[in-house]
Amino acid sequence: MATIELHRPRGPLAELGKYGAVFSTTVRTQLAYAGEMALRTSFLVIILYVFLQLWQATFAAQGATAIAGFGVAQMVWYLALTEAIVMSRPRLSGILDEEVRSGEIAYRLVRPYAYAGYHLAAHAAERGLRFLVNLAVGTALALLYVGPVAPSWSGVPVALVVAALGALIDFLALFGIGLLAFWIEDTSSVQLIYSRLVMLLGGMLLPLEVFPEPVGSVARALPFSTMVYAPARLALAGGDAAWVLELLARQAVTLAVGGALVWLLYRAAARRVNVNGG
Amino acid sequence: MATGLWRTLAFIGTYVRLNLQAALEYRVSFWAQVFAMALNDAMWVAFWGLFFARFPTVRGYEFRDVVMLWSFGAFSFGLATGLFGGCWRYATQVTQGALDFFLVLPKPVLLHVIVSRMSVSAWGDTLFGLGCFLVLARPSGEELALFLLLSVFGAVLFVSYGVIVNSAAFWLGNADGLAEQVQGALLTFSLYPGSLFSGAVKVVLFTVVPAGIVTWLPVGLIRQWDWGMATVLVAAASASVGVAVGVFYAGLRRYESGNLLAMRS
């Protein structure tokens, strides 16, 4: 009787292939809910309209044509970009929280992939898709409300890199908050406060130049600004080489320190997993 | 009639007490949610503080006016969803055919549906709203009394709007996403200065998405009392209750049971 030997594919490509499969499966899953995703972009219609009115009133009251180097049109485009970034954030902490509380994490841990790697691939797929949809809707709305503005063509590619690194920093933070479910009753409160810090100190509603001092300097020094303000600013107005290098260095340090902390947290959490029954 | 009213109030009081007791079973989680929501609101007001530090007046609104808007909006929304949390999210129950529990009990169905749930974080809004008003707006005694009185009307309007919007599920089926978006729109517009909007948008904001009535009008009354506007507010709140009750029971005639065998939790 012939026997069939089963081989588990090995090597870096096979490893990457697994996460690629998670990525593409998540994209297909999200596309199945395209209607819901489109419905959620209706918030962009409202918030961009509200801020168009707010900035028009503010510029008129100041008698100014530019504030912090931005005119009304640039302010609206800035908001369209920052909203596209912030609204694309999936609820990763909530998913991890549920997995920990329901015990589903025990089943995930025994599967042939890294737990964090699985979530990173799924998170990247969902976030990337949502970002594209939000960006498309935000662009259409900004064109409708204020017309086109000239982007910084040299800044756009750098903005994409900075936005991707910012999303990775955000992933680490959300993953860490989700893991806190091993120790605290409810992580949704921590998640809410973290999200508000990203939105407000990240410069989602106002470019950081508009913040009074010393709040502006503090906000610029925090990692939140590298996730939201920096990519939008780079795409619209560009930035000098020194600032871009400093920005990338800060993101690299944040990733290294944040990654180490989350890894330690994960190791501590994994020791607390109890499996009872099947 | 007085007995009926007393019984209804006792019913609401008992439900709120039980909801609170259930939420306090997870005491740390309860206070974490309350604190986080209050902090969340405080951060938004801090944002406005930064904005008005740079631009002191925008179309007649100053920082104190926005503080009043946020205080009033948070306090009345907190009251609405803290006491009647079901009003803001019962569309899912309609879609799942999970209203059977309420239909077989000898209490008004709508009242029972909306009082049966409590938003824990709403108490954070309520505490923040009152605290923010007292600390940042520094009201006179008269302003504080008006704030508390008018918040009741604000809460009634929030509850009515939630009931009307969620009732779309009776006709559309899966309407929780729609309800969430429309309710989000009401909250968003309610917390920005009303003087920013004009023309057709302003008409929409006093009718379809009535942010103008829910927060701008009461805050305008606290700033400067006007009997005509006060009458409009009372009439709008009364009419909203009538419309909410009418729409809910019209929808309930279309309700289909999901034959769910489940204990209410």
Instruction: Tell me whether A46 touches chain B (CB under 8 Å).
Output: yes
B50 touches chain A (CB under 8 A): yes
Burial of residue B34 (CB within 10 Å: 0-12, 13-18, 19+) is buried
C-alpha distance from B57 to closest chain A C-alpha (Å): 7
Lowest mean pLDDT: which of B65-74, B131-140, B254-263? B254-263
Question: Which of A110-114, A208-212, B43-47, B89-93 has the weakest average pLDDT?
Answer: A110-114
Span B142-197, pLDDT tens digits:
999 999 999 999 999 999 999 999 999 998 878 888 888 889 889 989 999 888 88
* Spatial separation of the C-alpha atoms in residues A56 and B196, rounded to whole Å: 9
DSSP-H helix ranges across A8-91: 12-32, 34-40, 42-62, 72-87
CB within 8 Å of chain B, chain A residues 185-204: 185-186, 188-190, 192-193, 196-197, 200
Residue B100 near residue B112 (C-beta atoms within 8 A): no
- String of DSSP letters for A131-162: HHHHHHHHHHHHHHHH------TTHHHHHHHH
Cα distance between residue A76 and residue A6, in whole Å? 57
- Structure letter (DSSP) for residue A174: H
Are A206 and B36 in contact (CB < 8 Å)?
no
Question: Look-up: residue for tokens 């090995």?
Answer: A10
First to last CA, chain A: 34
User: DSSP secondary-structure letter at A70?
Assistant: B
pLDDT over threshold 80, residue B61: yes
pLDDT at A106: 82
Picking from A55, A186, A188, A213 by the largest number of B CB atoms within 10 A of its own CB, the best residue to mutate is A186
Angle between the N-to-C axes of helices A115-146 and A42-62, in degrees from 0 to 180, rounded to the nearest 10: 50
Q: What is the mean pLDDT of residues B243-254?
A: 94
**Distance between CA atoms of A236 and A256, rounded to whole angstroms?**
28
- Chain B residues touching A61 at Cβ < 8 A: 55, 57-59
d(CA B189, CA A47): 9
pLDDT tens for chain A, 278 residues: list them. Answer: 567 776 666 777 777 888 899 999 999 988 888 877 787 788 888 888 888 888 888 888 888 888 888 888 999 999 999 999 999 998 888 888 888 888 888 888 888 888 889 999 999 999 999 999 999 999 999 999 889 998 889 999 999 999 999 999 999 999 999 999 888 878 889 999 999 999 999 999 889 988 888 989 999 999 999 999 999 999 998 889 999 999 999 999 999 999 999 999 999 988 877 766 55
| B201-237 pLDDT per residue, tens | 889 899 888 999 999 999 999 988 999 999 999 999 9
pLDDT category of residue B69 using cuts at 50, 70 and 90: very high
Looking at the partner chain, which of A57, A200, A206 has a beta carbon nearest the beta carbon of B58?
A57
Asked whether B82 and B114 are in contact (CB, 8 A), the reply is no
* Cβ-Cβ contacts under 8 Å, B120 against chain A: none
CA-wise closest residue to A79 among A234, A206, A200, A239: A206
Residue B14 near chain A (CB below 8 Å): no
**Average model confidence (pLDDT) across chain B:** 91
Residue type, A10: R
Q: Give per-residue pLDDT as tens, A173-189.
A: 999 999 998 888 788 89
Residue B261, pLDDT > 90, answer: no
- Give me the count of residues in chain B: 265
